[in-house]
Amino acid sequence: MLHFFLAMIDSPEDKRKFEQLYLRYYGQMLRVAQKILQDDHLAEDAVQKTFFQIMKDMGKIGEISSHQTHAYAVIKVRGIALNMLKARRKIIEMPLEELLEDEEAGGYIEGEIDDEISKGDLRAVIQQLPPIHRDVLYLMYYEDMAIRDIAKHLNLSENAVKKRLERARDVLRASLTKKGVASE
């Protein structure tokens, strides 16, 4: 399948990048899709759909081995797999593997919640949030994506993204308050 994708890419640099991305993340993306869909064939379809979308957005991909590219690939395949699952009228929640382990990321959200919160406390609480909330927070604050870009990335309307962000902030604030890390 890799050769199929490479044949559709014109730029030699984009071909090289796409091949590295495919070889590096294919296995992990397939495992994520399999955990969600519980079907090997559907998981393979989800991964191929994801790579097709990534191929169209090669200009957005930076360093292949970066945390941002890893997160982009995993969130993208997860969203596609969840959409496929929703179409089959099933819901299976699955934690996103260590998406927020980058020590340098996440400075923006801390100030919005409470200046006294440590990165470790914040990261721990975010990792425990449901994926629907965790993904929008990650994309908004750790990837610094605009609402329209998040909407495109998650195949949602901008209003849906705004609502998810609002709810995610409320859930995050409540979790932090409950843990005694933030005040109401």
The answer regarding whether domain 97-184 maps to CATH 2.60.120.330 reads no
Give the model's pLDDT for residue 184.
53
Note the pLDDT tens digit of each residue in 122-160.
777 777 788 888 888 877 777 777 888 888 888 888 898
Q: What is the CATH number of domain 1-94?
A: 1.10.1740
Q: Cα separation of 170 and 47, whole Å?
A: 32
Q: pLDDT digit string (tens) for 98-118?
A: 434 433 334 434 444 444 456
Residue 30 has a pLDDT of 93
Segments making up each domain of the chain, as ranges: 1-94, 97-184
Cα-trace Rg, the chain: 17
- Phi, psi for residue 118 in degrees, rounded to 5: -80, 155
